[in-house]
């Protein structure tokens, strides 16, 4: 059928899936019925300090709210694959 098995993470930090894509931290897609957060897991190293600063500044300027790094550290498992070829 043409399918290829791909190895990769089945979970991801909220930083890369939401914050880096400029999704506000109060967006409905981040609610529990759409996103399944994994308890006890937080990203230790999200990104480089420059990347974190740039994302934070973009949210502060664009959405005009305080961007919370603790929200960005949450790990989740979505119902769709996070990897692609």
Q: What is the pLDDT of residue 49?
A: 92
Q: What is the pLDDT of residue 43?
A: 67
Placement of tokens 């949210």 in the chain: 59
Question: Dihedral of CA 20/40/84/7: which sign?
Answer: positive
Nearby residues of 10 by Cβ (< 8 Å), 6 or more positions away: 77, 81, 82
DSSP 82: S
The pLDDT of residue 54 is above 90: yes
Mean pLDDT estimate for the chain: 83
């Amino acid at each position: 059928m043409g399918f290829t098995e791909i190895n990769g993470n089945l979970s991801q930090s909220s930083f890369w899936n939401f914050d880096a894509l400029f999704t506000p931290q109060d967006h409905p897609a981040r609610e529990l019925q759409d996103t399944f957060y994994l308890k006890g897991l937080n990203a230790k190293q999200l990104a480089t300090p420059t990347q974190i600063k740039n994302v934070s500044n973009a949210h502060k300027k664009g959405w005009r709210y305080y961007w919370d790094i603790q929200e960005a550290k949450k790990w989740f498992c979505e119902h769709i694959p996070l990897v692609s070829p």
